[in-house]
Amino acid sequence: MKGMTTMCKWKITIFVLSIFPVYTSILDAQWIQANLYTSDALCFANSGTNLFEGGINAICMSTNDGETWTATGQLTYNPSVQSIIISDSKIFAGTSAGVFLSTNNGTSWTSVNTGITTFAVYSLALRDTNLFVGTLYEGVFLSTNNGGSWRAVDSGLPNTTIWSFGVSKTNLFAGSRNGVYLFNDSTTSWRAVDSGLTNLEVWSLAVIGTNLFAGTNDGVFLSTNNGTSWSAVNSGMSNTRVYSLIVSGTNLFAGTKVGVFLSTNSGVSWALENAGMTDTRGDTLSVYALIVSGSNLFAGTDVHDGTTSSVWRRPLSEMITAVQRKADPIPVKYALDQNYPNPFNPSTMISYQVNSLSKVSLKVYDLLGREVATLVDELKGQGSYSVIFNATNIPSGVYFYRFQSGKYSETKKLLLLK
């Protein structure tokens, strides 16, 4: 996939988003205002050292990590900018007045809407050279010529709003008001993939390896099988609304109704990191968008008064490096760790170590010795590994997980409480 992409959410006045990490942060570390006092910040994108912000009636750019901002060229009709995506030297903006393109770093913009039947564009995605837009009630449109023309690709989609996209290899996922839908070239049609979602309002999607995450009105959900099934991964999050998800390495940030959360273990547990991100009245700000730019995490918020910035910045090192364990040494032996959390519902993480290239088997059994799940069954090189066990479809009770590699084997107990 070319360029760097991000997606943003539609601004609704009841939204409240923010940012928070999973463990204890450095003393007195907090968010600082990034000196943009315009209207609400609804989306971000970056390319190199250039950081773009889209909001009500304008797109702004910073070249110095948010210290100063300048307005780019004016868009026709002064629309709300809901999404920005960058492909090489081309910048695309999805707005309430359709799609706009800039080829000169935002100095000027051109409307590129031929074939799109609505002007309400809320999300953008880039897969290879294919550009997709998600709209209000008109489905998805595809351009294969940099926005020169568009055609509808909505077979299988209901008349719904597409809030977000997620790209995983050849799969394109769409988060909508009616759940998650999957599209790939082999089917050329969308199909619903929402089994296990307790809320079908899907505002955001994110991908880490083979893990697909969905932000909904009931918190974050995880699928490890391309959306075939989902399980809630909300420990520490209180099932809040999640409007934005962003990945930094193996870490996942969630912008929610009550702030920003960080998970360093694929959503198994979350913690809040919101220090300093309030207005002059002490109220928590709504966060509509998140982006990692350089060594910082940026949050786009609403504006309650003229003295509160709409963009906030915080070093990633305050929230990730300080809370993660020191890097484990190269394993010198085989080992199986106790799952965490335990007891759990419905997901838990199991970690293990391998000291040389060997066939690894990790399976879960019930009290009668019947196999419940195969988590790992493949060759693994020397290293430390973790895997998520999703127990959505099995009843509460005591289970055992057995790790075997070569002549080494170990078994531990886990407890599922629903």
Say if residue 19's pLDDT is above 60: no
**Does residue 285 share a domain with residue 353?**
no
**Does residue 281 share a domain with residue 144?**
yes
Please indicate, yes or no, if residue 305 is contained in any of the structural domains.
Answer: yes
Here the CATH number for the domain that contains residue 356 is 2.60.40.3080
Please indicate, yes or no, if residue 142 is contained in any of the structural domains.
Answer: yes
CA distance 207 to 181: 15
Please indicate, yes or no, if residue 23 is contained in any of the structural domains.
Answer: no
Please indicate, yes or no, if residue 1 is contained in any of the structural domains.
Answer: no
Distances (CA, A) of 38 to 52, 68, 91, 302, 309: 14, 12, 21, 9, 7
**162-174: pLDDT as tens digits:** 999 999 988 999 9
Residue 237: what pLDDT? Answer: 84
Residue 326: what pLDDT? Answer: 35
Instruction: Yes or no: say if 129 and 142 are a contact pair by the CB < 8 Å rule.
Output: no
Domain that holds residue 56: 32-319
**Does residue 366 share a domain with residue 230?**
no
Place of tokens 């969630």: 254
**Does residue 271 share a domain with residue 218?**
yes
For Cα atoms 318, 314, 341, give the angle at the middle one, nearest 5 degrees.
50
CA distance 308 to 104: 31
H or E segment and range at residue 333: none
Please indicate, yes or no, if residue 293 is contained in any of the structural domains.
Answer: yes
Instruction: Yes or no: say if 339 and 380 are a contact pair by the CB < 8 Å rule.
Output: no
**Does residue 253 share a domain with residue 225?**
yes
Q: Number of structural domains, the chain?
A: 2
Domain's final residue, options 319, 354, 386: 319
State the average pLDDT over residues 308-313: 89
**Does residue 339 share a domain with residue 314?**
no
DSSP reduced 3-state for 32: strand
Name the more confident of 317 and 403: 403
Q: Where are the beta strands (DSSP E) in 266-391?
A: 271-272, 287-293, 296-301, 311-315, 335-336, 347-354, 358-365, 371-380, 383-390
**Does residue 360 share a domain with residue 306?**
no
Predicted TM-score of the model (pTM): 0.74
